[in-house]
Amino acid sequence: MNEEITEYINGAPEVQKNIMELIRSLIHQSVDGVVEEYKWSRPVFKSTKDFAYLQTNKNHVNLGFSRNIERLNDLNGILEGTGKTMRHVKIRAVSDIDVQLFSQWFVAVSED
Q: pLDDT tens-digit profile of 30-65? A: 999 999 999 999 999 999 999 999 999 999 999 999
pLDDT, residue 83, reads: 81
CATH class of 3-110: alpha beta
Cβ-proximal residues to 69 (8 Å cutoff; 6+ apart), any chain: 79, 85, 86, 87, 109
Indicate whether 84 pLDDT > 90: no
Q: Is the dihedral of CA 40, 26, 50, 64 positive or negative?
A: negative
Lowest mean pLDDT among 4-8, 11-15, 80-84: 80-84
Rounded-to-integer distance, Cα 56 and Cα 8, Å: 9
Give residue limits of the domains in the chain.
3-110
Half-sphere exposure of 109 (CA within 13 A, CB side): 27
pTM, two decimals, is 0.93
pLDDT band at 82 (very low <50, low <70, confident <90, very high): confident
